[in-house]
Amino acid sequence: MRNKADLITKISLLKQEIDKCLDVRDQEGFYQLSFDLKVCQRYLQNRDKFFHH
């Protein structure tokens, strides 16, 4: 299982890659990276809920 710092780093990198896709109008890359970002954010959110309750 990834730790919180790894997930936050991955989320930050995904956001940078999404920005690059927008700059070059890479729609397919944008959608894939956005999906990956949502998965990571949801995992981080659920992980926090699990460990704080």
C-alpha 3 chain-centroid distance: 14
1-53 tens-digit pLDDT: 468 889 999 999 999 999 999 999 999 999 999 999 999 999 888 877 766 55
The structural domain count of the chain equals 1
pLDDT at residue number 3? 84
Structural domain span for residue 29: 4-52
C-alpha 39 chain-centroid distance: 6
pLDDT at residue number 15? 98
pTM for the predicted model, two decimal places: 0.81
Q: How far apart are the first and last CA of the chain?
A: 19
Nearest to 4 by CA among 49, 34, 19: 49
Query: Are the C-beta atoms of residues 19 and 27 closer than 8 Å to each other?
Result: no
Cα distance between residue 49 and residue 33, in whole Å: 24
